């Protein structure tokens, strides 16, 4: 070797491992092969440098809370990142801009809000133990952030922007949605993205008439107002309201309080951006040259104006006419080979349309369809369009049409919510669907749509204010709104249709709720951006929404507002104009309520047999365990057989059935399994398990059997047979309820007498609109019996001459034929034939040891043979067995026959 040992050591001192490998040195240590270590030359331990995270923080007060804005500590690579904290709740918002200059004609802004379960120290209760697709709440919070920041991006800025807001920790006291919106504003201020902020977002509540700034979740649960307000220093950007019929005057007071409170968020953001913000970058803006705009305007303005001044055009006819104008201009530009104008033609034509429509409204006060500014389109209402459903309604306003349906369910069918704040379940749901055919287009239907979720939630908040409280109304309710045709404000049409459908379902709403959308057209001074003139439009068309400045959706009753959603297109609108729009919306809402009340003014007063029924029964835990069965098998079997939904709580069983017939069937099964309180005079259904010489055994109460003579319980079939008038009514009125401890029974309202029955301690379910309290049970139901004391039965037997001490027996109604000779006891042609009721009555009332009726006077008969049986032969027989569909009769001679039950239908006072 040319290299000495010392030379090798000098080169490899920094890496002893390389030295050992190069020399192939090995040692045996604990039975394993390894490299020998050198105690004289230990490796130098690595020393980590100290990373200094320079962070910037601003603290300020809004309402009664201290708010902090911090940047620089986390998410340093994001274009802008801010952590906003309030007590123990912290929200991180980041913004990023796409690279390159893509050719677009819109702003591709994406806002994602996410609540992960780690923020409250919980592992997700999913199979993968991971968060899944965005929940409805996350989509709605994303819209709260998106709506106020979108109008402040400069015109022509079409670069891709993504906002991600994440909840880092939550103490459950504050709703993170408003915090995320303010954090996003601060992050945009720190970034190099051009943006006309900052904005401030604040929440206002009201308890006992006192307004509260940024209320806690506990305070919000007591508040009759949930107002989210966003603004710049002097203009309103976004309003979102859920209220309990708050008056327009009180709402205006809340808005005027919210504005100065929201402005408090602005200065801290400006200070933070001055300390840690980036220099705004020069982005390419997609602007149309003045020459191109004037050229296209000169070619398209006149024909466009002609279309907009003709009110006879419908939505699609107007659209086709405008499209033809665009094609004509395109052909002219192609002849001139003006490629630059052709690239921006759709945008320029749209700008010309906007200019023509706005000028016509401002100068002439007339609209595209010829209406006055405060006029509502023609309305058509129809409640009960689908009578087989629990509730349904069609609502038309102009060309906008929605079909709303109501479905009632059990309490356990309430929607489960996994949000960080708020209630864990939701019992009232409104699902809004906007299919492509409603605007004569094609498209895919998959997953949650942000727009559909937002519109459905707005209508849901509007109707929630008038629903009865949960204690009085235990149902889970789902409204499904299907948009059948769209030409403006389908969400407000959903409010109107949903209100009528709820009343059609018999749900006792306090008031009807209607909604209307108000628009705005402004004339702005191009020099300073100030509004010189404006017009407020009631019930805007889809075109007026697109070409106007504002879509102000307001829903409420005659007493006040229940929900609001304000979206605007310019960079803010003065609050005075917003407050003025409230009165225009109120007048339009009253016009719509008049039409709705003419169609259906109050909840349905007649409950049919298709109406859903709900009953809550109270039992002991042992009885409930007996009802559930092993692993819930018995409960599931009843649900499968009847189609009802049964939920079991602590000492309660709640049953929801789709109609009264199913409810009766389920209650019979529950009674049969668990048992019930046996009351003298009560009428019960049971199964005749066997018929003996001395009476019948009837199983009717949790497996308990009663006997008519020798048992502890005396049963009487005869007592419930049809009797003249008041006698039958008296028996029914004496009947006992299934369970006297039922706390809540709700069903569609009937008349006043039925409402009184609902308040009574019996808690009986209401009868259908064609039912009568004197009616017999359905023929398909098991025979009913009435419980009587022994003394009462003895008195009844004596009065009928059927006491055991009597020496005479009743005449037999059946007979046999020998040749053509009529025997004693055989009925003549004008005598009634034996019926099931008479057979059972005589069989059950006959004691042991009695002779058969007519046996003393009857001739001795020869044994019956099959050869003697012919069609029309009348025979005398004994009841051998009772089955579900009839009686097995013993004819003698080892011959048995079947006597089928005769099905009778009770109508009025006659069978």
Q: What is the pLDDT of residue 529?
A: 81
Band (710; pLDDT cuts 50, 70, 90): very low
d(CA 193, CA 277): 11
Nearest-10 crossing angle of helices 176-190, 136-149: 40
Kindly state whether residues 341 and 393 are assigned to the same domain.
Answer: no
Kindly state whether residues 568 and 640 are assigned to the same domain.
Answer: no
DSSP 541-597: -HHHHHHSSEEEEEEE-SS-EEEEEEEESSS-B-HHHHHHHHHHHHHHHHHHHHHHH
Q: Are 497 and 404 in contact (CB under 8 A)?
A: yes
Q: Per-residue pLDDT tens for 132-143?
A: 889 999 999 999
Average pLDDT score over residue span 332-336: 89
Q: Per-residue pLDDT tens for 218-229?
A: 999 999 999 999
**What would the two tokens of residue 80 be?**
């802008």
**What would the two tokens of residue 110 be?**
């994406």
In the predicted model, is pLDDT for residue 487 greater than 70? yes
Structural domain contains residue 825? no
Kindly state whether residues 198 and 323 are assigned to the same domain.
Answer: no
Domain CATH code at residue 639: 3.30.1370.10
Kindly state whether residues 320 and 459 are assigned to the same domain.
Answer: no
Kindly state whether residues 129 and 104 are assigned to the same domain.
Answer: yes
Q: Are 230 and 198 in contact (CB under 8 A)?
A: no
- Residue ending a domain, choose from 599, 624, 655: 599
Structural domain contains residue 266? yes
DSSP code for 325: H
Structural domain contains residue 805? no
Closest-CA residue to 232 (of 575, 686, 542): 575
The total domain count for the chain is: 5
DSSP code for 481: E
Range of lowest pLDDT (263-267, 360-364, 517-521, 659-663): 659-663
Kindly state whether residues 424 and 517 are assigned to the same domain.
Answer: yes
d(CA 810, CA 841): 12
The winner for highest mean pLDDT among 575-579, 609-613, 887-891 is 575-579
Band (517; pLDDT cuts 50, 70, 90): very high
More confident residue, 340 or 27: 340
Kindly state whether residues 135 and 191 are assigned to the same domain.
Answer: yes
**What would the two tokens of residue 576 be?**
């005075």
Range of the domain at 505: 379-599
Kindly state whether residues 506 and 554 are assigned to the same domain.
Answer: yes
Kindly state whether residues 234 and 344 are assigned to the same domain.
Answer: no
Q: What is the pLDDT of residue 339?
A: 85
In the predicted model, is pLDDT for residue 842 greater than 80? no
Kindly tell me the sign of the dihedral angle through the C-alpha atoms of 657, 661, 664, 665: negative
Average pLDDT score over residue span 33-37: 43
Q: Per-residue pLDDT tens for 50-81?
A: 877 889 999 999 988 899 999 999 999 999 99
In the predicted model, is pLDDT for residue 402 greater than 70? yes
Kindly state whether residues 268 and 319 are assigned to the same domain.
Answer: no
Average pLDDT score over residue span 536-549: 93
Q: Per-residue pLDDT tens for 679-699?
A: 677 777 677 777 776 677 776
Q: What is the pLDDT of residue 23?
A: 40
d(CA 557, CA 205): 20
In the predicted model, is pLDDT for residue 472 greater than 80? yes
- Residue ending a domain, choose from 276, 303, 320: 276
d(CA 610, CA 717): 31
Average pLDDT score over residue span 574-582: 95
Average pLDDT score over residue span 384-410: 92
Q: What is the pLDDT of residue 859?
A: 46
**What would the two tokens of residue 385 be?**
């369009």
Q: What is the pLDDT of residue 47?
A: 74
Band (714; pLDDT cuts 50, 70, 90): low
d(CA 563, CA 140): 15
In the predicted model, is pLDDT for residue 236 greater than 60? yes
- Beta-carbon neighbour count of residue 649 at 10 Å? 12
Structural domain contains residue 297? yes
Domain CATH code at residue 590: 3.30.230.70
Domain CATH code at residue 875: 2.40.50
Q: Are 194 and 157 in contact (CB under 8 A)?
A: yes
Kindly state whether residues 345 and 434 are assigned to the same domain.
Answer: no
Structural domain contains residue 743? no
d(CA 438, CA 32): 77
Q: Per-residue pLDDT tens for 765-796?
A: 333 333 333 333 333 344 444 545 555 555 65
Q: What is the pLDDT of residue 493?
A: 97
DSSP code for 623: H
Structural domain contains residue 309? yes
DSSP code for 413: G
Kindly state whether residues 573 and 628 are assigned to the same domain.
Answer: no
Domain CATH code at residue 354: 1.10.10.400
Structural domain contains residue 711? no
Structural domain contains residue 669? yes
By percentage, how much of the chain surpasses pLDDT 70?
72
More confident residue, 797 or 493: 493
Residue positions counted in the chain: 911
In the predicted model, is pLDDT for residue 514 greater than 50? yes
Tell me the Ramachandran region of residue 447: left when phi exceeds 0, alpha when psi lies from -120 to 50, beta otherwise. Answer: left
- Residue ending a domain, choose from 599, 633, 656: 599
Closest-CA residue to 200 (of 173, 162, 234): 234
Q: Per-residue pLDDT tens for 90-136?
A: 999 999 998 876 667 788 999 999 999 999 999 998 888 998 889 99
Report field, pTM of the whole predicted structure over 0.85: no
Average pLDDT score over residue span 853-869: 55
Q: What is the pLDDT of residue 706?
A: 66
In the predicted model, is pLDDT for residue 759 greater than 50? no
According to the 3-state scheme, what is the secondary structure of 704-750? Answer: EEECCCCCCCEEECHHHCCCCCHHHHHHHHCCCCCCCCCCCEECCCC
């Amino acid at each position: 070797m040319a290299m000495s040992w010392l030379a090798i050591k000098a080169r490899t001192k920094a890496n002893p491992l390389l030295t050992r490998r190069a020399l192939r040195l090995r040692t045996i240590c604990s039975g394993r092969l390894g490299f020998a270590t050198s105690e004289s030359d230990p490796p130098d331990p690595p020393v980590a440098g100290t990373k200094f995270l320079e962070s910037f923080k601003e603290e300020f007060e809004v309402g009664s809370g201290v708010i902090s804005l911090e940047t620089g500590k986390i998410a340093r690579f994001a274009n802008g990142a801010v952590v906003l904290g309030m007590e123990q709740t912290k929200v991180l918002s980041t913004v990023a801009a796409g690279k390159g200059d893509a050719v677009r004609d819109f702003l591709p802004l994406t806002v994602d809000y996410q609540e992960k379960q780690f923020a409250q120290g919980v592992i997700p209760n999913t199979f993968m133990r991971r968060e899944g697709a965005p929940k409805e709440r996350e989509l709605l919070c994303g819209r709260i952030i998106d709506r106020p920041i979108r109008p402040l991006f400069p015109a022509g800025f079409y670069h891709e922007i993504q906002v991600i807001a994440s909840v880092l920790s939550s103490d459950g006291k504050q709703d993170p949605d408003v915090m995320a919106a303010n954090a996003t504003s601060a992050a945009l201020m720190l970034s190099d993205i051009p943006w006309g902020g900052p904005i401030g977002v604040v929440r206002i509540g009201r308890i006992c008439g006192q307004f509260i700034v940024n209320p806690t979740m506990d305070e919000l649960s007591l508040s009759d107002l949930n107002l989210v307000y966003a603004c710049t220093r002097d203009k309103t950007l976004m309003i979102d309201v859920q209220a309990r019929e708050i008056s327009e005057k009180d709402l205006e007071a809340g808005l005027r309080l919210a504005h100065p409170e929201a402005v408090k968020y602005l200065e801290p953001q400006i200070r933070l951006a001055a300390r840690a913000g980036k220099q705004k970058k020069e982005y390419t803006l997609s602007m149309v040259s003045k020459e191109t705009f004037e050229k296209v305007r000169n070619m398209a303005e006149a024909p466009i104006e002609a279309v907009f001044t003709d009110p006879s055009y419908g939505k699609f006819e107007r659209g086709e006419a405008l499209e033809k104008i665009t094609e004509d201009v395109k052909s002219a530009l192609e002849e001139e080979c003006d490629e630059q104008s052709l690239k921006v033609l759709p945008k320029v034509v749209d700008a010309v349309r906007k200019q023509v429509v706005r000028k016509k409204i401002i100068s002439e006060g007339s609209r595209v369809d010829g209406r006055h500014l405060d006029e509502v389109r023609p309305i058509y209402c129809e409640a009960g369009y689908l009578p087989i459903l629990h509730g349904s309604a069609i609502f038309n306003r102009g060309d906008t049409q929605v079909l709303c349906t109501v479905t009632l369910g059990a309490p356990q069918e309430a929607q489960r919510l996994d949000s960080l704040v708020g209630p864990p379940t939701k019992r009232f749901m409104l699902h809004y669907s906007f299919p492509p055919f409603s605007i004569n287009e094609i498209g895919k239907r998959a997953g949650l749509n942000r727009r559909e979720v937002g519109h459905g939630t707005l209508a849901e908040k509007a109707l929630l204010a008038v629903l009865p409280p949960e204690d009085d109304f235990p149902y889970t309710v789902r409204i499904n709104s299907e948009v059948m045709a769209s030409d403006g404000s389908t969400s407000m049409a959903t409010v109107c249709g949903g209100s009528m459908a709820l009343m059609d379902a018999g749900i006792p709403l306090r008031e009807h709720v209607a909604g209307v959308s108000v628009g705005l057209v402004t004339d702005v001074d191009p020099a300073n951006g100030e509004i010189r003139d404006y017009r407020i439009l009631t019930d805007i068309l889809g075109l007026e929404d697109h070409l106007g400045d504002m879509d102000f959706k307001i829903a409420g009753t005659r007493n006040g507002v229940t929900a609001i959603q304000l979206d605007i297109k310019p960079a803010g609108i003065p609050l005075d104009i917003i407050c003025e729009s409230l009165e225009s919306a109120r007048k339009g809402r009253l016009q719509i309520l008049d039409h709705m009340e003419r169609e259906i003014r109050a909840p349905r007063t007649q409950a049919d047999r298709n109406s859903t029924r709900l009953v809550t029964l109270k039992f002991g835990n042992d009885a409930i365990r007996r009802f559930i069965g092993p692993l819930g098998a018995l409960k599931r079997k009843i649900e499968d057989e009847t189609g009802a939904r049964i939920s079991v709580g602590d000492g309660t069983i709640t049953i929801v059935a789709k109609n009264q017939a199913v409810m009766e069937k389920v209650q019979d099964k529950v009674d049969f399994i668990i048992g019930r309180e046996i009351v003298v005079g009560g009428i019960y259904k049971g199964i005749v398990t066997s018929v003996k010489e001395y009476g019948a055994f009837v199983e009717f109460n949790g497996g308990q059997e009663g006997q008519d003579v020798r048992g502890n319980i005396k049963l009487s079939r005869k007592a419930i047979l049809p009797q003249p008038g008041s006698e039958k009514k008296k028996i029914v009125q004496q009947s006992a309820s299934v369970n006297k401890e039922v706390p809540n029974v709700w069903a569609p309202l009937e008349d006043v007498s039925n409402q009184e029955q609902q308040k009574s301690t019996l808690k009986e379910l209401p009868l259908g609109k064609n039912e009568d309290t004197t009616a017999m049970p359905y023929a398909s139901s098991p025979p009913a019996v009435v419980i009587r004391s022994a003394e009462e039965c003895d008195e009844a037997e004596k009065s009928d001459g059927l006491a055991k001490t009597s020496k005479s027996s009743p005449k037999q109604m059946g007979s046999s034929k020998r040749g053509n000779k009529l025997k004693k006891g055989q009925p003549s042609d004008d005598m009634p034939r034996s019926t099931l009721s008479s057979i059972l009555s005589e069989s059950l009332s006959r004691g042991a040891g009695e002779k058969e009726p007519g046996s003393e006077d009857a001739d001795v008969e020869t044994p019956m043979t099959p050869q003697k049986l012919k069609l029309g032969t009348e025979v005398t027989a004994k009841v051998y067995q009772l089955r579900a569909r009839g009686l097995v009769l013993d004819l003698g001679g080892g011959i048995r026959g079947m006597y089928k039950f005769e099905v009778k239908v009770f109508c009025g006072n006659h069978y």
